Amino acid sequence: MNVDLHCHSTASDGALAPAALVARAFENGVRVLALTDHDTLEGLAEARTAAEGLGMQLVNGVELSCTWGGATIHVLGYGFDVNAAPLVEAIAKLHDGRWLRSEEISRKLALKGMPNALDGARQIQQELGDSGNAPARPHFADWMVREGFVKDRAEAFRKWLGAGKLGDVKQHWPTLEDTVGTLRAAGAWVSLAHPWHYDFTRSKRRKLIADYIQAGGHAIEVVNGHQPAEQVGSLAILAREFGLLVSAGSDFHGPGGWSEIGQYRPVPEDLPPLWGRFKHDPVIAAV
């Protein structure tokens, strides 16, 4: 694919530095890229410089955490003003909250005989590429593997860090409505990230999308990496029914992970792509 609107660097929980991520995307044929790190804009400047050197277009992107219906939801923002005051303030609060969450994860793991988890996760993070942001759960998982507490990252999430487990520390994220409002105030195009990722019933997922639209959302992510084709089909039906734009991306975090940068299932041809609404140069017109 020559467009990828969902990927992560070492600025959050990815394995590649922003410049290395951009280079890998270019090698895989991507020409329009949005770096969408979790709750931070830290990697955008480095990514933009790398993209400009390769003749690629980098779209400002971010994946913000919020709450709805008692669950953590992720919302993608694109093409915003990085200096917009509402967004800068929201990012600062999320930054502080993520550090508090990391400290709480470390405290809980220590109670289970795994001391110094925060220092260990921070070391893992810095080995990938230093970031001023808090280590995320994948960093904790990799530390647990290194220390021999689990055999692999999957076991770490299954036993300790996944949804509902001891290390799944609930964050006091802002509401879905507030988060969409923040992005809109910064001039962003907004897409609901991986709607099938949430463990919702069919009716609750429809309610989420309806509330998201009411809050001002523009699009839903109908394709996220190599998710099952039937999920893509179901999300496409919802996009048609609600009259939404659609986004798509690999959700790349690193080599050998969920999916490769620039690779994801095809988007149904009848759906209106969000990236067609970006301010763009001629390279996007050919998409």
Four-point Cα dihedral 91, 78, 71, 238, nearest 10 = 170
Say if strands 219-224 and 3-4 run parallel, antiparallel, or are unpaired. unpaired
pLDDT at 283 over 60: no
**240 pLDDT higher than 90:** yes
Rounded Cα distance between 60 and 36, Å, is 8
> In the sheet that 57-68 helps form, which strands lie side by side, from edge to edge?
3-4, 32-35, 57-68, 71-78, 189-192, 219-224, 245-249
Section 177-205 average pLDDT: 97
Output the six-digit token pair for 49: 């410089």
Report the distance separating Cα 79 and Cα 87, nearest Å: 12
DSSP one-letter code for 273:
B
Whether 286 has a pLDDT exceeding 50, the answer reads no
Residues in CB range of 199: below 8 A, 6 or more apart: 71, 163
Asked if pLDDT for residue 281 goes beyond 70, the answer is no
**DSSP H/E element including 246:** strand 245-249
Q: What is the per-residue pLDDT across 47-87, written as a single tens digit (0 to 9) for each?
A: 999 999 999 999 999 999 999 998 889 999 999 999 999 99
Q: What is the pLDDT of residue 285?
A: 32
Where do we find the tokens 């990799």? 142
What pLDDT sits at residue 278? 81
Phi/psi of residue 157, each to 5°? -75, -40
Q: Which pLDDT does position 1 carry in this prediction? A: 76
Look at 162 and 25; give whichever has higher pLDDT.
Answer: 25
Q: In the CATH hierarchy, which fold is given to the domain comprising 3-80+188-285?
A: TIM Barrel (3.20.20)
pTM of the model: 0.90
pLDDT band at 164 (very low <50, low <70, confident <90, very high): confident
Model confidence pLDDT, tens digit, residues 209-234:
999 999 999 999 999 999 999 999 99
Q: Is the pLDDT of residue 189 over 60?
A: yes
Instruction: Report the alpha-carbon distance of residue 27 to residue 101 in Å, rounded.
Output: 36
Reply yes or no on whether the pLDDT at 282 is more than 50: no
CB 272 within 8 A of CB 246: yes
| Alpha carbons 17 and 43: distance in angstroms, whole number | 8
CA torsion sign for 132, 3, 188, 67 is negative
Beta bridge partners of residue 3, listed in sequence order: 32
* Whether 55 contacts 63, CB under 8 Å: no
| CATH, domain 100-161, list 1.10.150.650, 3.30.420.40, 3.40.190.10, 3.40.50.300 | 1.10.150.650
Where do the structural domains in the chain lie, given as residue ranges? Answer: 3-80+188-285, 100-161
Instruction: Indicate the average pLDDT of the chain.
Output: 93
Higher pLDDT, residue 278 or 85: 85
Structure confidence at residue 145 (pLDDT): 97
In this structure, what are the phi and psi dihedrals at residue 95, rounded to the nearest 5 degrees?
A: -60, -50
Which SS3 state, helix, strand or coil, does residue 221 take? strand
Question: What is the pLDDT confidence band of residue 142, given thresholds at 50, 70 and 90?
Answer: very high
Inter-residue contact 77 to 218 (CB < 8 Å): no
